[in-house]
Structure 1
Amino acid sequence: MATRGAVATCVILKHRRNPSFRSITPQSHRFNPKFNPQVVPNGFRYQIRAIQGASADHVAQLKNHDDPKPKPQNWKIKMLYDGDCPLCMREVNMLMERNEKYASIKFVDISSNDYSPEDNQGLDYKTVMGTIHAIQSNGNVVTGVEAFRRLYEEVGLGWVYTITKYEPIGKVADAVYEFWARYRLQVTGRPSIEAILEARKKNKVETCGDSKECKI
């Protein structure tokens, strides 16, 4: 009798479990790997939207380059480059990509209307257009092949210019670069430096009027 009672109890429990589960969990509410927001409680849906919104805001902040309060850059050397020179920009872009890891170079486009000699050791546009200039964080100014050597060292590519430290290779490298710097405007199909200066002066006058703060 005890055995029969136990068996009868198990049968009843088993019978009660299955029907009750089916009645409480309709077909539309069963587990589905495809997320269905209609079956999520309102409160929980609000939490999900809040989390998604926070993530979207974070991504937007990362992509926002116009942050009014950018983090200060602990640069070790500043590169003054001609943003209007197409061949120059290939090398500048490469250094910029490398600098994303090292963050040791500050890039300053001298062709920008915002370029300020006062912020760059008094180096005016015409002077910097004559040859590559780089300014170390201690204020020391380096030019020519030496500037490239220092810049490349800051992004882990010092070995590219290591050979230029030795003579007579160093002198040859300096001579080659000086030739390039002298004729790069003609090589890249650009006007003479005099024509560029005149155009910049005219643009400054049209943009700034009588303001004394605008300088070439």
Structure 2
Amino acid sequence: MKREQLTILYDGQCPLCVKEMRHLMKADSQHKIQLADINAPDFTTRFPEVSHQAAMSKLHGYLEDQSSKTLVTGLDVTYHAWRLVGKGWLIAPLRWPVIKVIADYCYLKFAKNRFTLSRWLTGQSRCQSCSIDR
């Protein structure tokens, strides 16, 4: 059986993004998910093929098994993350052909406006010292 892992390149200054990563970490009992903050000083060194601007515009991740490493983006990252922790069925409908087009469009709008949405929903648009504990 393949041992899959996912490295998620997330925005550690976005309160909603951090909240989602916290939920994932709590559900990830088998440690299949690794996180990399796109604002870390070593981000461009560790992930030179993903520009900071591209990472700010939508979620990126690396899905890996013993034989391959694939770059995935947007809601595909979210789907694989929740699938790896056993809850992929919750988001699977967003990957169905007709719904996928609409969901991806909505996701891009969300990603572009996430700091405003964070301010409305959490009271802060950016984190100054957000942390994610496993």
* TM-score with structure 2 setting the length: 0.77
**Secondary structure of the structure 1 residue equivalent to 2:113:** helix
**Secondary structure of the structure 2 residue equivalent to 1:140:** strand
Question: Which 4+ runs in 1 deviate beyond 2 A?
Answer: 117-121, 185-191
Task: Could you tell me which runs of 5 or more consecutive residues in structure 1 were left unpaired when the two chains were aligned.
Answer: 1-73, 192-216
Partner of 1:130: 57
Contact 1:120–1:135, Cα closer than 8 Å, also in 2: no
- Larger C-alpha radius of gyration, 1 or 2? 1
Partner of 1:172: 102
Give the % identical residues: 26
Contact 2:38–2:52, Cα closer than 8 Å, also in 1: yes
Instruction: Please show how residues 1-16 of structure 1 align to structure 2 within 5 Å.
Output: none
Alignment CA distance shift 1:154-1:75 (3 Å): same
Alignment of 1:79 onto 2:4? no
What is the distance in 2 between the residues matched to 1:139 and 1:181?
Answer: 24
Instruction: Please show how residues 74-113 of structure 1 align to structure 2 within 5 Å.
Output: 76-99=5-28, 101-113=29-41
Instruction: Report the AA paired with residue 141 of structure 1.
Output: L
* Count of residues in Structure 1 that have an aligned counterpart in Structure 2: 116
Contact 1:80–1:134, Cα closer than 8 Å, also in 2: yes
What is the distance in 2 between the residues matched to 1:176 and 1:150?
Answer: 18
Instruction: Report the AA paired with residue 108 of structure 1.
Output: A
What is the distance in 2 between the residues matched to 1:140 and 1:113?
Answer: 24
Contact 1:121–1:139, Cα closer than 8 Å, also in 2: no
Task: Could you tell me which runs of 5 or more consecutive residues in structure 2 were left unpaired when the two chains were aligned.
Answer: 120-124, 127-134
Higher relative contact order (Cα pairs below 8 Å, separated by 6+ residues): 2
**Secondary structure of the structure 2 residue equivalent to 1:108:** strand
Q: Report the Cα offset of residue 167 of structure 1.
A: 2.8
Q: Report the Cα offset of residue 120 of structure 1.
A: 2.3
**Secondary structure of the structure 2 residue equivalent to 1:122:** coil
Instruction: Report the AA paired with residue 140 of structure 1.
Output: T
Partner of 1:159: 89
* TM-score with structure 1 setting the length: 0.49
